[in-house]
Structure 1
């Protein structure tokens, strides 16, 4: 059975702003993949229950999401993950990822395994923050020379949260050596390069789930 490790943030607050996982960026891919017969495991740096950004859902959650949220209720710690067991890794977004994904030894170790073994590495929206500050054994950025997307500077400015962020994701992805691409504000935009599949924003979630599925099924 194809197994996917889905990594979410543990951070629930940045300054006075409540944050966490952007819910659809976990649930929409997880729904697509479990329907395909893939096995999804929720993971985070600290483990446990994942905080959900209150702006990412209403009181009425889609019924199709029933049962799919269970993996984020009690995530496994990344330090306890055996990457050999997984065929792909996927970093979910939400502003919290900007805090605990960069410069993470646990994420760095996993990225090294997935890149060295040419397994799929995916990230959506703020999820590519996982590529910031994390380098391979040769001290080289994992995304040097890789075409990639993620939440754009223009989109971040539009949220009004740019000043609260530790950095702007687009800027840091470029600084890390990536070839950054944006499809425009709120564009459905997915980029595939080598074993990296990245989506720009929440509007890209369904498409990245489809592209990821196609690559894993081929």
Structure 2
């Protein structure tokens, strides 16, 4: 007798966030960007989805300082969704003791979303195990979404046939213009590389961007990408459109 699928079961989404690290460029601590986790989370739960949060190495997650709505810089003080997530005991607990992706089967999820922040440029770019995890999800027909600096792994993630996952795809990520803006603001080199610059060196892929800091996301098949931290909700909305209720 064939196994039946419960059509009434809620969709399941896995959010993967970067582990805490230190930038080799600035020497500053880096982590995940809060809005790139909390805004998609909110969109997914509002759609009735079950959402889990994991990380490549597992353990407690730490946000980039300026993405914390209570950071003294005030940079993200407007981000009430992240503030609510942080100050809710139930939700803050989701950032503690996260399961490593090595212990997760992507086939158990309808979609995965890789959040950005400073950490991915340091911890994810050369994480072949994570790349393989994302490739398995993609080849299984799952929706694969990546946000902001989390899209950096598309520069190196390869499918089982050896092709880059991004081959023949239109995608987006943190723009060179935005990197220039950040470097001017902090007065020094900030990232070890720029995603748009590296993407433009690849053959057979189409990297596009919208205006600086404008919400922007693009879907190409079961690949969905968002430009920067203001694109969390629109990226998640494309996932919801792809999966349905």
TM-score by length of 1: 0.92
Match of 2:114 among 88, 91, 108: 91
SS in 2 for 1:165: coil
Match of 1:154 among 166, 177, 181: 177
Aligned-partner Cα distance in 1 for 2:234–2:189:
30
SS in 2 for 1:175: coil
Large movers: runs of 4+ above 6 Å: none
Tell me the CA shift for residue 64 of structure 1: 4.1
Tell me the CA shift for residue 133 of structure 1: 1.8
1:9 equivalent to 2:35? Answer no
1:173 equivalent to 2:199? Answer yes
Match runs of 1:75-114 below 5 Å: 75-114=98-137
Aligned-partner Cα distance in 2 for 1:68–1:35:
15
**What is the CA RMSD across the aligned residues, in angstroms?**
1.9
- Residues 155 and 186, structure 1, Cα contact 8 Å, conserved in 2: yes
1:129 equivalent to 2:152? Answer yes
Does the C-alpha gap of structure 1 residues 25 and 112 become closer, same or farther in structure 2, counting only changes over 3 Å?
A: same
Aligned-partner Cα distance in 2 for 1:131–1:151:
12
Match of 2:33 among 18, 22, 29: 22
SS in 1 for 2:189: helix
- Residues 148 and 180, structure 1, Cα contact 8 Å, conserved in 2: yes
Of 66-75 and 88-97, the range deviating more from structure 2: 66-75
1:206 equivalent to 2:233? Answer yes
Tell me the CA shift for residue 185 of structure 1: 0.8
Tell me the CA shift for residue 28 of structure 1: 0.8
Aligned-partner Cα distance in 1 for 2:228–2:126:
22
Aligned pair count? 218
Corresponding residue for residue 47 of structure 1: 58
- Residues 91 and 123, structure 1, Cα contact 8 Å, conserved in 2: yes
Structure 1: which 5+ runs fail to align? Answer: none
Tell me the CA shift for residue 90 of structure 1: 0.5
Tell me the CA shift for residue 202 of structure 1: 1.3
- Residues 40 and 71, structure 1, Cα contact 8 Å, conserved in 2: no
Cα deviation code 1:89-146 (max 9, x no counterpart): 1010101111111222222222222221221010111110122222122221110111
- In terms of Rg, which structure is larger? 2
Match of 1:119 among 142, 146, 152: 142
1:31 equivalent to 2:57? Answer no
Aligned-partner Cα distance in 1 for 2:206–2:140:
22
Aligned-partner Cα distance in 2 for 1:173–1:114:
22
